Structure 1
């Protein structure tokens, strides 16, 4: 990547080789959390994302949108595992009652209970931003977002790598790499922005680099309803400013490594309060204070190291905290957090921060550990919503459909719902149009984890796209294209729907088999 922003620290009043401000806090917790959210994202009911929901795989932005739109509702939990490069060419709007998507951006709008996690060889959002709006309980983990532009071509998300606005609550962004290739004049904006009443957010174990603007909390001096943000174990590298810019509200930044900050770092303004614990600042300028305004903010400092940091002269619109930063407020933190010693922060952050680091975290004692469990583990076995089912073959176990009933949305002349459960490959059901539903139902709850859809003898390829749905609650168990074997998490239900949403000519189903395993 081109390093377009150089470190320019010319005029300075004071340069400290190494200055330690305050005393490190001692915490009772012995180790960092290895699963689940941290920081302010644990408050207000916590942040669990799509835990407990269906896991699906996506390799395009359109598939991400489709996974959101295929849910029973906008709050149905879902974990979307992403692999490959997501870009403008493969990201289109998808419509549905459980989503509100758009072309050219990953749109997490008016939804809740979603996890977006990179898996396999990694997930890269190339020139494509992630937009969170009017949403809650969102986890974004193990992804790279790069070179998102607000001007030039192509543009996405107002130039923000990840942007939140309009009543957003409880977001955890973890182990991400957010980067640009220049500043505003080259079309880029912020890497991590929060606006218009966004609260309870944590950014952890991430890399923000090579941009003019790191991120802000509040889009202007009147945008003061944003608050309760935690930043920990992040690398801020080669950034001009906004690391972050805080307008009002409360923030907590600890165990971060700041290097190559050109103009200003943590910029506390408009009455903002920030607790600054055990961070390592090096080769940078004005890493803490109030800058570019007379509307001052405050800070509480403890245990930080300032290594080759220069400080400008105080004056109009310029109130640096150094060269000997002292606290100007107190901030009460409602959660526990283990603190690494500041001197080991560069090493532990280098080992853990960013995408594709195995989700390693600090143990709170300057060593790393790898999570062993958790709903966002990138080794989970997903349901691929776009892969055709496997060749049916002859599954083991009892076909539960043989002792069940059947119904549907419509039936073409000469066909019957009962034909899909009679064991006869010569008889079949067809809808009266190119789409339709056929269902298997039982008198009492029955556990199903596998479905086999068979076309009549001599017929192939008549079924296009489909959804498998739990009729009782509307949950989408799987979706895809073509006939074959479909496996999903074992589900207790009384009726299961096979919904054909597109077809190649006249769709025909000879057998709709169901199995417990």
Structure 2
């Protein structure tokens, strides 16, 4: 079709208001192709394709990005990112650091001393029979205030009808994150933002300076640990000698929170130079598990709180533990039930440990993705928790421990198709992990170079945890031809990530 004929067709369809700035290679006005996964099934995604000339912006700083978003509001808009935007930069161009956000008397070392398991865990909450999660005292109050101050700076809200796209091959958004939808948790099931396109941007280092210690996260009385019991006797015997507790951070690189009809394409996600391996556990045994690192990064791309109709394509996720969470809690049936329908296709995951994705409630289609990981240090069901703890430390896994690509959670129904898994020190039985769900189907996938029956491998692990391939639904939209699994690694390597739009 000639350019003039194409323009007429797009204007007639309401995709463009004029043809003045359109060309066949103008990726900023591209829309999601018909049938391209769940986002297309939900009505399609045009983002800002219909933007008037006055609502097309080129931005290269946080100040300019915020101004462009405010200027256009919910009108169709195209925002082109040029170079690197540091979301922790003030309007004068100075980077804000921990000391700029900290509220007195917060001090990390004092915080650690106040809530150390040896101090805080000596008494259990009589209701939960765990250490209290309600941290009290001036250090937690100051940490929370500091966190809110940082959040106000580094979280940027993206409104409806937006295309946010990088120019060229080096566009980055660093040291903060985007929120598409609500900035806070909500029990409202109705989406508040729709029709958003995010493309050709590298998201890097959404760093939380003020992670919170949760003493009850994964805590349990496990008597394989010397001295672990539920009543305090002395420094060597009591609940403070039981395993558990985790550091939790707040910020995702991109967070869909009550959003629908979103397309995330040709982006790269990583932690930059401050990956969490540089922040090892800071408490002594038994609170020095690998998973008890001081976590300064949360998710890469999380999809929660009633979000729906999303397509995630041609992205590169690497060097980060927990990539994508779909549904934040088993208790959000009224918010997430019937929602969280997402397609993942032609993405590359490298040294990404888990949540690729972890799913609750959603009908998720994942095809032609390539997963590369190392399971050295992963728990072995034949060993006690204490021995697994020691083994994980001794394994010295230099990356993130592979714990399973798909988290099969409550009321989820994952359709996996022609994916490729390269898992050192592991096989088909850890391609996925059952986390409260009962439905999972895989067809045509390859594990470590060989065809694999992943469902059979999962069901052989535990007779009490079984999944059925009878999902009750089938994918309705394919945005690209489903490649044979053998062709996936080469294709994904050539096409996934920012800077590879063609």
Structure 1 length as normaliser, TM-score? 0.55
* Corresponding residue SS for 1:120: coil
* Cα drift, residue 146 of structure 1: 1.1
* Cα drift, residue 91 of structure 1: 5.6
Which of the pair has more CA radius of gyration? 1
* Unmatched segments (≥5 aa) in structure 2: 1-26, 93-150, 182-191, 212-247, 278-292, 375-401
Aligned-residue Cα RMSD (Å) equals 2.9
Tell me which of 140, 164, 168 is aligned to 2:198.
140
**2:371 matched residue in structure 1:** 258
Listed as ranges, the matches of 1:17-36 within 5 Å are: 35-36=30-31
* Cα drift, residue 149 of structure 1: 2.4
1:235 partnered with 2:357: no
* Corresponding residue SS for 2:483: coil
Tell me which of 143, 168, 193 is aligned to 1:120.
168
**1:44 matched residue in structure 2:** 42
1:170 partnered with 2:283: no
More moved, 61-70 vs 156-165: 156-165
* Corresponding residue SS for 2:83: strand
> Is the 8 Å Cα contact of residues 88 and 154 (structure 2) preserved in structure 1?
no
Q: Distance in 2 between matches of 1:317 and 1:163?
A: 34
Tell me which of 128, 131, 142 is aligned to 2:179.
131
In structure 2, the CA distance between the partners of 1:78 and 1:274, relative to structure 1 (3 Å rule), is same
> Is the 8 Å Cα contact of residues 299 and 330 (structure 1) preserved in structure 2?
no
* Cα drift, residue 308 of structure 1: 6.3
**2:332 matched residue in structure 1:** 223
Q: CA offsets per residue over residues 432-470 of structure 1, 9 Å max, x none? A: xxxxxxxxxxxxxxxxxxxxxxxxxxxxxxxxxxxxxxx
> Is the 8 Å Cα contact of residues 274 and 331 (structure 1) preserved in structure 2?
no
* Corresponding residue SS for 2:69: helix
In structure 2, the CA distance between the partners of 1:208 and 1:90, relative to structure 1 (3 Å rule), is same
* Cα drift, residue 301 of structure 1: 1.7
Listed as ranges, the matches of 1:390-401 within 5 Å are: none
> Is the 8 Å Cα contact of residues 249 and 295 (structure 2) preserved in structure 1?
no
Listed as ranges, the matches of 1:150-161 within 5 Å are: 150-152=208-210, 158-161=250-253
1:314 partnered with 2:312: no
Where is the helix percentage greater, Structure 1 or Structure 2? 2
Where is the strand percentage greater, Structure 1 or Structure 2? 1
* Cα drift, residue 269 of structure 1: 1.2
* Cα drift, residue 237 of structure 1: 1.0
* Cα drift, residue 349 of structure 1: 0.2
* Cα drift, residue 348 of structure 1: 0.3
Q: CA offsets per residue over residues 75-118 of structure 1, 9 Å max, x none? A: 2100000011111343669xxxxxxxx74335235x21001000
1:270 partnered with 2:271: no
Tell me which of 443, 459, 474 is aligned to 1:332.
474
* Cα drift, residue 354 of structure 1: 0.3
**1:415 matched residue in structure 2:** none
- Matched residue pairs, number? 307
1:69 partnered with 2:163: no
In structure 2, the CA distance between the partners of 1:136 and 1:304, relative to structure 1 (3 Å rule), is same
**1:193 matched residue in structure 2:** 302
